[in-house]
Structure 1
Amino acid sequence: MRLGRRSLLAAPLALATPALAQPAWPSRPVRLIIPYATGGGTDLLARAIGEALRPLLPHPVVVENRAGAAGVVGTEVVARAEPDGHTLTAVVSTHIMNRYHLTHLPYDPVTDFTPVAMLSRNTMVLAAGTAQPFADLAQMVAFARANPGRVGTGSTEALSSFIGQELARRTGIETPDVQYRSGGQLMNDVVAGHLPVGWTSTASATPHMQTGRVRILAVSTATRTPFFPEVPTAQEQGVAEFDLAGWVGLLGPAKLPAAIVGRLNALLGQAYADPVLKGRFTAMGIEPDLRPGPALLEAMQHEDRLWAAAAAAGHIQRQQ
């Protein structure tokens, strides 16, 4: 079949159209929005991952802290962003719990996002200053029982707040919740003696252990953490069936193309295999737990069921 001049001119344009519709990713720096203040475990994790990804990408991953409203301020930016892979967020598991803790959420924590990957497991630890008049969980509970309301318990988001109040509920003590914007700020006050105790991640606690002014009283999970193997769990210290932990997950806006999600997972796999990043994780007290988007979605749905039941039982109070 003979083609006319017009057909020959149109053919290259037709062949080029699909390529133009699928620009290479990333075509500019990737914003990784951390909806919490600097210095906390999620911030440290994100910055370490961003540095590890730098040699693997043509453009850098720029970590941007947008703290406020229990993580909602920064997370909403991602929910409203174009689903082109250039705006992502790393959130803790209370991203889901906020649905039951806050009076208003400007997005659906599940359906308005694309789960990209699980990044880490967050074992929470109960940190106390060495100047406090208690050296273990039993002594803290006894002191709090004898001094109602005097053992303020620091928290940084809904999960750590829930863990603190759940421990108080199960042990029959009164420990007012003292809220912080990040684990780094919480730990600074523990070290300085301004805050009696606080629930925070191993990543937030680890940098302060060399000061000699901090001790870990308990961990929140059923098994001990490898970062503080000498510290018994709350269960071991008499709080039956106490097993609460969180995670950090990487999310993009809803309708993020599967090709970009797959590319991100491949890059993360390369970064996590790097011995340098593995060493940084260990030094910072981070428990890496890299899993793909479907596993993160399953964890999010599980959290949704868990917190819905806790709210129905009255164990989660709406923020006023």
Structure 2
Amino acid sequence: MRMLRRTMLAVPALLSWPVHAQAPWPSRPVRIVVPYAAGGGTDILARAIGEALRGSLPQPVVVENRAGAAGVIGTEVVVRAEPDGHTLLAVVSTHVMNRYHLASIPYDPIRDVTPIAMLTRNTMVLVAGVTQPFADFRAMIDHARRNPAAVGTGSTEALSSFIGQEVARRANAQMPDIQYRSGGQLMNDIVAGHLPTGWTSTASAMPHIQTGRVRVLAASTATRTPFFPDVPTIAEAGIPEFELAGWVALLGPKGMSDALTARIHGAVAGAFADPALRQRFTALGIEPDLRDGTALRAQMEREDRLWAAAAAAGTIQRQN
């Protein structure tokens, strides 16, 4: 009788287990939303990672570009998705900065997402076409001072815009910010000579260097980028204590479980360990910097405090 009672008590639990158990990941194709136009550094990175993941996952990985509003349109798609790991977001660090730069955004960039992995350090470089009347950073600044507003600076999001305008402010030069939807579009205008200079990622710049039609004038980081070791940093080129860099991260919707987040991070870590992918990163001008979701959240919160202080000081201007 006691055994029968135990069996009867166990039956409801056994019957309910499949209903409440979490479905395996991935059970259908995984979509990585890139909230920028195709051809830029983040798009290139997401596609390289997506291809590397296909060999280890039972479902395909699809990269989808949803450009517009400085990344807000694509990000909102992911924020509103089910937190089941099948809709992810590859986004740059201005995801955090946007709340201080844009007039408004329909989500909280930290509370409404699940950090999964920091993917890369995003060194920004200043590029110019070889037909421009300057061959290095100092000559560019001199030319901009002699010709106010003649040297426009292309940007693709809030960080590159901020870097360009901060360089101009510290150099006491008028260099209008010219906004683009992607690094690919910016680089096309640099090559064609339509845009004097632009700030973009090493990944966006790298494919154009071999053409001989583009120069890299400076790097935004405290140390030189290994992809252009002969290119000085902004500090070396004459603006002391200048250091700004971005990153690319993988996020999911709010509410993803710790187990699911760890599973996805583990898949990405496995792809990063592949020598073939690391060689491809080098060829593409991508600097891997893999960190887990906890470290990514800490970085996002730290930068949120930085940009809040910059906005309070008036060094970030909110768009109307």
Shorter-normalised TM range: over 0.9
Aligned to 2:163: 163
2:96 counterpart residue number: 96
Q: Counterpart of 1:173?
A: 173
Letter in 2 for 1:302: R
Residue equivalent to 2:125:
125
| 1:135-162 alpha-carbon deviations (Å, 9 max, x no partner) | 1111000000010001010000000000
Partners of 1:155 and 1:41 lie apart in 2 by: 13
Counterpart of 1:50 in structure 2 is 50
1:147 corresponds to which residue?
147
Cα distance between partner residues in 2 of 1:12 and 1:229:
67
User: Tell me, what secondary structure is at the counterpart of 2:54?
Assistant: helix
Structure 1: give runs of 5+ residues left out of the alignment.
none
Describe the SS at the equivalent of 1:224.
coil
Report the alpha carbon displacement of residue 18 of structure 1 after superposing the two structures with TM. Answer: 2.8
Which digits, 9 at most, give the CA deviation of each residue in 1:102-145, with x for residues without a partner?
A: 11110000000011010000000000000000011110000000
Shift, 1:301, TM fit: 0.7
Structure 2: gaps of 5 or more residues: none
Counterpart in 1 of 2:295?
295
CA distance in 2: counterparts of 1:206 and 1:180, whole angstroms? 18
1:2 CA displacement: 5.2
1:14 aligns with 2:13: yes
1:255 is displaced (CA, Å) by: 1.1
C-alpha separation in 2, matches of 1:48 and 1:17: 41
1:294/1:214 CA distance change after superposition, 3 Å: same
**What code does the residue aligned with 1:256 have?**
M
Q: Distance in 2 between matches of 1:16 and 1:39?
A: 50
CA distance in 2, matches of 1:208, 1:57: 33
Q: Measure, in 1, the Cα distance between the counterparts of 2:109 and 2:169.
A: 28
1:49-128 mapped onto 2 (5 Å cutoff) = 49-128=49-128
Residue by residue, what CA displacement relative to the aligned partner does 1:286-319 show, whole Å, maximum 9, x if unpaired? 0000000011001101110111111111111111
Over residues 176-207 of structure 1, what are the superposed CA-to-partner deviations in whole Å (9 max), with x where a residue is unaligned?
11100000000000000000000000000000
Taking only aligned residues, the RMSD between alpha carbons, in angstroms, comes to 1.4
Taking structure 2 as the reference length, the TM-score comes to 0.97
Aligned residue number for residue 247 of structure 1: 247
Number of equivalenced pairs = 319
Distance apart, 1:265 and its partner CA: 1.3
Where do 4+ consecutive residues of structure 1 move more than 4 Å?
6-13
Counterpart-to-counterpart distance in 2, 1:267 and 1:109: 24
Partner of 1:23: 23
Equivalent residues in 2 for 1:217-236, closer than 5 Å: 217-236=217-236
Partner of 2:316: 316
Give the % identical residues: 69
**SS of residue matched to 2:63:** strand
